[in-house]
Amino acid sequence: MTKPNRNLPSNVYQCRNRYWVAQQVNGENKVYGWYDTREEAITRRNQLVQKGVITNRVGKHRIKNYENRYIQKTHSNKYRIQKKIDGTCQHFGVFHTISEAREERDYLESINWDYSEME
Q: What pLDDT, in 10s, does the model give residues 49-99?
A: 889 888 766 554 555 557 888 999 999 999 999 988 888 889 999 999 999
Round the average pLDDT of the chain to a whole number and report it: 84
Residue 119: which pLDDT band, with cuts at 50, 70 and 90?
A: low
Q: Phi first, then psi: what are they for 29, rounded to 5°?
A: -80, 120
Mean pLDDT value across residues 6-31: 85
Question: How many Å apart are CA 34 and CA 20, to the nearest integer?
Answer: 4
pLDDT at 35: 95
- Return the pLDDT at 58: 57
Share of the chain above pLDDT 90, in %: 41
Output the pLDDT for position 59: 52
Choose between 100 and 3: higher pLDDT: 100
What are the φ/ψ torsions at residue 16 (nearest 5 degrees)? 55, -115
> What is the pTM (predicted TM-score) of this model?
0.47
Contact 21, 31 (CB under 8 A): yes
